[in-house]
Structure formats: structure tokens, C-alpha cells
């Protein structure tokens, strides 16, 4: 490993290479050591571009998204140079950075940049593509250089490998503020991610205001206390809670959209519903004394699938969710739903009989009941023009006809994604073994914050080397692997700096899996590029893990 640290040290020194041009003017040079690695950077025989005060950023008139893009770029350039850059729809003097839409790009998120003595041109077929071009420029510049910057002449041709480049934040176990969620979205944008999977409901906390069911937040968003550590049996005797109003949620949706990130909300059912049951006990099999969860693990207390009012509840909740979140995909959970209550419940058993569900050697009748509830809700969502994503348990009992499967249970082998793909379904890869960022980075946990007890540590290089499209599929089948996602589950992560520590620099490694073609990836190259990205983490005040920088 020693040589890796030397490379890191050397590259740290190179990042801010300083050129003394004359006695009064000092310039620095941008380099293109960017993460995720672009597909192609081709040197051009030309003098470099000089980024100095007064360079105008041009964007097309009557395009608000491009205006936003121009403003992002102006802000990034100001961070780098300390100077102000006007944005405008036209300019007839001086050099410009132009942002323009051009339909010649096949991939909707592709971009091209030409940097030459005359100026900088970023083109893409969508505003999202332009945004990634802007991120490329941002990450090429020295941070806080406070000088003019020289940009060597190059052409960049870039596009993402996967259309789904996700990160999950669990706010059910611990609540994170609106500003913290926005920072998480900023962290994603820095790494060219485009799907924020927001896990909003849990046994231990319901976080989304639903106007028709006010008790979900009045009661369900607060737990009376929390177990300390990994279910130690000692409790902190302090209530923990919080939720987002619909107004706040809509504001965060806009904030993410400005950064070309779609929020995929998750309302996890029929399991992981204990907070909802505490709020509306009539939704359970027993009407029993439910309370918002105070420990971690899988609860047996799930929605009763035998009564119509459960389905009405789900439709009502989802109707409000659809009003807040324009995403085509809605995540319906479907994971970790024990069937013990359903086996005992006369309402669930009557429903099983009524619709003729039977056990066979593949599935129990209760598993088929779970498939019934998911399929029924899929029909509801499909009729409203939306699609469902569910955790890989939704295969049990039969897969809903149009569902996308999120693969996570590595210990069950390759059956889930294989079955899904062979049946023509899309799959998103988020394997427990590589993509669960609540695991420790290193096997020696002496100096690590609280993390999962099992010994599956997930190093940054094991993430980097993970290949999300498994061998053994035809070219057509491979297209069903639409992307990959890192998950930040928070049972053991109660503060936002801890969220950042578990996410960074893992997001950097993940972003090269998501974006860069596999034949171009190179871990040593990645380590060589990383210090430049770390400067941005430092400048933004992001916490991050430093194992690679001993």
C-alpha cells in the first residue's frame, strides 16, 4: 500500500501548481483529474483558456433550467477564483463560457466540452448533460485559488454508463433536518448521481406529513426512547422525532431537481409499519397496543392484509405522496415482512381463502398474500402513470407485473436478480456486501464510529472494484441492470457528520462504477485523482473517512 500513499502525497502537491507570470500576477493551472473519470479527454493543439474576471457565462434565453446551470457555474468559478462571473443570454465582448443545447448527443446525460484559447463551449442534449459538464469544470479547478486560472486546451466527450445512479438516505431511524438532507443532495450532485432514494417511513419513525392521517406524524414521528448502540438493552430515555411538512418536502424536491436529481420516495409496506400502527392501530392484525419502535431489527407487527381499510390507507397515503413527488418511480419497500401475524389473523386468512391463494413448493399462501398487496398497489400506481420499485423480497409469492427489483440480499445468492431479469424486469443493484454504507470501512474497528456488528467491512477499493452487471447474461438481458446505488441506513448513525463519514469517499468510488465504463476504471488512477476531490470535501465542510490518507 505504501506506494499508494506516496502517489496521494505527490498528487496533493501537484493540485495547486502555482505559476508566477509576472511580479504581480500569480496563476494556477486547472487539471482534469476528475472523479468520476470522464469517458474521453482529448488534448487540443491550442493555447490554453484563461479564466479571469469578466469572462461571461452565456446561456440560452427563455430557459430557466439553463439559467440555473449558469448560476451554479458562476458560483463554482467564484469559489475557485474569488472573482465574479456575469451570466447573460448574449455578449459581444471578451471571452465566454457558453452553455448550449444540441440534440446531436444520443445519451440524454452526455455532454461535450471544448476548451480552447477562444473560450469554453459546453453542449449537451439536455440541461442535465450541461450540469454534468459544469461539474466536470468545477472539479477541474483548484479550490480557493484566488487567482486567474489557466485551462489547458482539451475536448471532453463524456456520458454515464448507467441511467440510474443512486444513493439512499434512511431518515426513519434517525431524523435529519431539511438542511442536512439538502447537503446530502449536494454530495450526490458532486458525484454525478441522479436518483435520491429517500427512505421516509420506518418502524422507528414516520417522517412524511400525510394530511388525511395526521396521527402518522403526531404520534408516529416520535419514539419515546432509543436503544443504545446495537440493541444493548439499555435505553437513552429521551424521545427522538421529527418529520417533514409537505411544504418542506416540495421544497426539497425542487432543490434536488435544480441539481438534476430525482427523488424516489420510499413508503415501506406491508412490513416496517410499526410507527403507522402506533398511530392507527386498526391497520394491524390485532388492534393491539402498538408503539413506535425503540429497538432495531425486523418487527413482526405489520399491516393487516385482510381488510379493505388497509388498502384504502395505502391508496390515500400514496395519493399524497404522488402529489409531492413527481418521480416516475415510487419505492414501495416490500422487504422484511414476517408473516407470523398473517398466519394467525382471521381477517388475513379469510382474504387468502376469498382470493384463492394456496401454498405450493415455491411459496406459502402468506407470501402470495404479500404479492397480492404489492401487485394491487402496483396497479393503483401504474394507473396514475407511475412505476414501482421494491426490495428483492417482492419476488416471493410472485413478482408484480411491471416492478423494478432492488437487489440487496447478497446471502441469498444470485436468484433474485436472475429471476427478475429472466422475467424481463429491470434491476437496480444495491448488494448488502458492497453497497451498505453502514458497514465499517476497516476490520479493525478500534477507532471507528458505531457501525454494524457483522465483520463484513466494506473498503473503498472493494466498492470501486464491484461490477454491477454479473456475468452470464445476454447483451439484451444486461440492459435490465439499469444502475447501482449506495445505501446509508442509520440505525447506528445518529448525526449528520457520521452520515458523511460513512458516505465519503465511498461516493467517489461508487460514482466511478455508476458513471465510467468498466474498461476505463483504474483504482490507482482513482487514488491519484482523489485528493483533488477531497479538497472540495474540505472546502464544503464535509466530514469524510481518511483511511486512504494514513
Which residues lie near Zn ion (CB under 5 A)? 285, 304, 306, 345, 347-348
Distances (CA, A) of 340 to 242, 348, 349, 366: 30, 11, 12, 9
Question: Minimal distance in Å, beta carbon 270 to ligand ACM?
Answer: 14
Question: Residue 311 or residue 528: which is nearer to Zn ion going by CB?
Answer: 311
Cβ proximity to ligand ACM: between 331 and 363 the closer is: 331
User: Measured from the CB atom, is 344 or 479 closer to Zn ion?
Assistant: 344
Partner that binds at residue 336, options ligand ACM, Zn ion, none, CB closer than 5 to 8 Å by kind = ligand ACM
Strands (E), 104-161: 111-116, 119-124, 148-151, 154-158
In Å, the largest CA–CA distance within the chain is 88
Q: Which does 129 bind (CB under 5 to 8 A by kind): ligand ACM, Zn ion, none?
A: none
CA gap 527, 548 in Å, rounded? 8
Reading the block at residue 343, the C-alpha cell is 398466519
Q: Which entry of ligand ACM, Zn ion, none binds 345, CB below 5 to 8 A by partner kind?
A: Zn ion
Residue 98 beta carbon to ligand ACM: minimum distance, rounded to whole angstroms: 44
Residue 187 near which of ligand ACM, Zn ion, none (CB within 5-8 Å, type-dependent)? none
For the record, the C-alpha cell of 369 comes out as: 398474500
Length of the chain: 550
Return the number of other C-beta atoms located less than 10 Å from residue 348's C-beta.
Answer: 24
**Residue 408, contacted partner among Zn ion, ligand ACM, none, CB below 5-8 A by kind:** ligand ACM
Nearer to ligand ACM, 99 or 488 (CB): 488
Distance in Å, CB of 406 to ligand ACM, minimum = 7
Residue 186 contact, options Zn ion, ligand ACM, none, Cβ 5-8 Å cut-off depending on partner type: none
- Distance in angstroms (rounded) separating the CA atoms of residues 333 and 197: 11
Shortest approach of ligand ACM to residue 489 CB, angstroms?
6
Q: How far is the CB of 313 from Zn ion (least distance, A)?
A: 13
381 binds, among ligand ACM, Zn ion, none (CB under 5 to 8 A by kind): none
With respect to Zn ion, which residue has the nearer C-beta, 58 or 345?
A: 345
- Site of interaction with ligand ACM (CB under 6 A): 335-336, 391, 408
| Residue nearest ligand ACM, CB atom distance | 335
Whole-number Å distance between alpha carbons of 488 and 196: 11
Identify which of residues 133 and 334 has a Cβ nearer to ligand ACM in the complex. 334
| CB-facing half-sphere around the CA of 124: CA atoms within 13 A | 24
First to last CA, the chain: 10
Q: Which does 306 bind (CB under 5 to 8 A by kind): ligand ACM, Zn ion, none?
A: Zn ion
Are residues 73 and 122 in contact, defined by beta-carbon separation less than 8 angstroms? no
Q: How far is the CB of 297 from ligand ACM (least distance, A)?
A: 11
On the CB side of 485, CA atoms within 13 Å amount to 26
Find the shortest distance in angstroms from Cβ 487 to ligand ACM.
Answer: 7
Residues facing residue 262 across a β-bridge: 195
Residue 129 vs 431, nearer CB to ligand ACM: 431
DSSP β-ladder status, 56-58 and 154-158: unpaired
Q: Judged by CB, which is closer to ligand ACM: 240, or 331?
A: 331
Look at residue 142 and give the partner it binds from ligand ACM, Zn ion, none, a contact being a CB closer than 5 to 8 Å depending on partner kind: none
Pairing of strands 240-241, 222-223: antiparallel
Which residue's CB is nearer to ligand ACM, number 121 or number 331?
Answer: 331
Is 402 in contact with 378 (CB distance < 8 Å)?
yes
In the complex, what is the shortest distance from the CB of residue 380 to Zn ion, in angstroms, rounded to a whole number? Answer: 20
Nearest CA among 205, 179, 404, 168 for reference residue 293: 205
CB of 183 to ligand ACM, least distance (A): 23
Bridge partners, residue 484, by sequence: 165, 429
What residues pair up with 116 in beta bridges, in sequence order?
A: 119
Amino acid at each position: 500500500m505504501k506506494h499508494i500513499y506516496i502517489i496521494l502525497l505527490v498528487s496533493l502537491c501537484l493540485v495547486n501548481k502555482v505559476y508566477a507570470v509576472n511580479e504581480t500576477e500569480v496563476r494556477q493551472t486547472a487539471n482534469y483529474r476528475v472523479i468520476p473519470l470522464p469517458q474521453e479527454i482529448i488534448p487540443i493543439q491550442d493555447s490554453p483558456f484563461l479564466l479571469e474576471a469578466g469572462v461571461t457565462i452565456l446561456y440560452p434565453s427563455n430557459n430557466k433550467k439553463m439559467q440555473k446551470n449558469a448560476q451554479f457555474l458562476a458560483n463554482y468559478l467564484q469559489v475557485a477564483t474569488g472573482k465574479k462571473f456575469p451570466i447573460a443570454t448574449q455578449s459581444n465582448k471578451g471571452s465566454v463560457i457558453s452553455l448550449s443545447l444540441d440534440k446531436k448527443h444520443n445519451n440524454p446525460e452526455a455532454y461535450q466540452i471544448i476548451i480552447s484559447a477562444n473560450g469554453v463551449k459546453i453542449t449537451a442534449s439536455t440541461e442535465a448533460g450541461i450540469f454534468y459538464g459544469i461539474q466536470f469544470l468545477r472539479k477541474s479547478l483548484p479550490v480557493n485559488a484566488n487567482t486567474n486560472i489557466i485551462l489547458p486546451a482539451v475536448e471532453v466527450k463524456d456520458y454515464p454508463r448507467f441511467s440510474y445512479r443512486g444513493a439512499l438516505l434512511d431518515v426513519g431511524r434517525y431524523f435529519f433536518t431539511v438542511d442536512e438532507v439538502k447537503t446530502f443532495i449536494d454530495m450526490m450532485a458532486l458525484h454525478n448521481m441522479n436518483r435520491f432514494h429517500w427512505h421516509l417511513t420506518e418502524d422507528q419513525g414516520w417522517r412524511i406529513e400525510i394530511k388525511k392521517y395526521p396521527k402518522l406524524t403526531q404520534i408516529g414521528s416520535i419514539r419515546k426512547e432509543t436503544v443504545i448502540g446495537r440493541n444493548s438493552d439499555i435505553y437513552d430515555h429521551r424521545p427522538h422525532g421529527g418529520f417533514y411538512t409537505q411544504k418542506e418536502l416540495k421544497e426539497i424536491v425542487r432543490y434536488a431537481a435544480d441539481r438534476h436529481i430525482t427523488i424516489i420516495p420510499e413508503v415501506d409496506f406491508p412490513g416496517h409499519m410499526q410507527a403507522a400502527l402506533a398511530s392507527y392501530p386498526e391497520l394491524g392484525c390485532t388492534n393491539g397496543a402498538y408503539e413506535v419502535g425503540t429497538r432495531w431489527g425486523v418487527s413482526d407487527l405489520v399491516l393487516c392484509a385482510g381488510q379493505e381499510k388497509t388498502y384504502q390507507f395505502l391508496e390515500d397515503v400514496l395519493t399524497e405522496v404522488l402529489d409531492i413527488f413527481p418521480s416516475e418511480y415510487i419505492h414501495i419497500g416490500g422487504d422484511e415482512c414476517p408473516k407470523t401475524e398473517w398466519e394467525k389473523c382471521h381477517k388475513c386468512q379469510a382474504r387468502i381463502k376469498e382470493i384463492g391463494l394456496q401454498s405450493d413448493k415455491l411459496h406459502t399462501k402468506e407470501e402470495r398474500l404479500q404479492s397480492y398487496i404489492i401487485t394491487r398497489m402496483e396497479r393503483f400506481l401504474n394507473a396514475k402513470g407511475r412505476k414501482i420499485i421494491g426490495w428483492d423480497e417482492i419476488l416471493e409469492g410472485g413478482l408484480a407485473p411491471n416492478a423494478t427489483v432492488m437487489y440487496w440480499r447478497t446471502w441469498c445468492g444470485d436468484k433474485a436478480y436472475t429471476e427478475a431479469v429472466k422475467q424481463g424486469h429491470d434491476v437496480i443493484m444495491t448488494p448488502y456486501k458492497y453497497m451498505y454504507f453502514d458497514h465499517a470501512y476497516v476490520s479493525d474497528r478500534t477507532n471507528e464510529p458505531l457501525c454494524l456488528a457483522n465483520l463484513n467491512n466494506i473498503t473503498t477499493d472493494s466498492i470501486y472494484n464491484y461490477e454491477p452487471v454479473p456475468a452470464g447474461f445476454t447483451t439484451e438481458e444486461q440492459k435490465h441492470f439499469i444502475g447501482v446505488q449506495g445505501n446509508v441506513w442509520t440505525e447506528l448513525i445518529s448525526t449528520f457528520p457520521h452520515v458523511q463519514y460513512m458516505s465519503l469517499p465511498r461516493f467517489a468510488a461508487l460514482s466511478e462504477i455508476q458513471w465510467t465504463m468498466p474498461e476505463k476504471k483504474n483504482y490507482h488512477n482513482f487514488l491519484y485523482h482523489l485528493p483533488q476531490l477531497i479538497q472540495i470535501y474540505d472546502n464544503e465542510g464535509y466530514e469524510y473517512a481518511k483511511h486512504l490518507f494514513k
